[in-house]
Amino acid sequence: MNDEHKNNPLHGITLKTLLNELVEYYGWETLSEFVNIHCFQNNPSINSCLKFLRKTPWAREKVEKVYLAMKKNNH
């Protein structure tokens, strides 16, 4: 494993897995408070949010930060 991947806590975690874990832990309502995006607020679904997050880097970055904070608080 090279240094870039070794130091990346998100390496090997798919966006779908990350999002599923966040929704299971927080629920859509709380998640939409952390990251204020339409797809979390109005009729949310994993697939619609994945589609949005894959083409919107700033939103994906915010979601990844929430995920890392969740993991840090659970360890």
In a domain, 7, yes or no: no
Find the CATH number of the domain harbouring 66: 1.10.720.30
Closest CA to 69 of 40, 38, 30: 30
Name the stretches of the chain with pLDDT < 70.
Answer: 1-6, 75
In a domain, 8, yes or no: no
In a domain, 36, yes or no: yes
User: How many domains is the chain built from?
Assistant: 1
Task: Name the residue range of residue 36's domain.
Answer: 13-73
Identify the pLDDT of residue 26.
96
Identify the pLDDT of residue 9.
87
Give CA separation, 7 vs 4, 47, 48, 49, 60, in Å: 6, 29, 30, 27, 19
**Per residue in 42-55, pLDDT tens?**
999 999 999 999 99
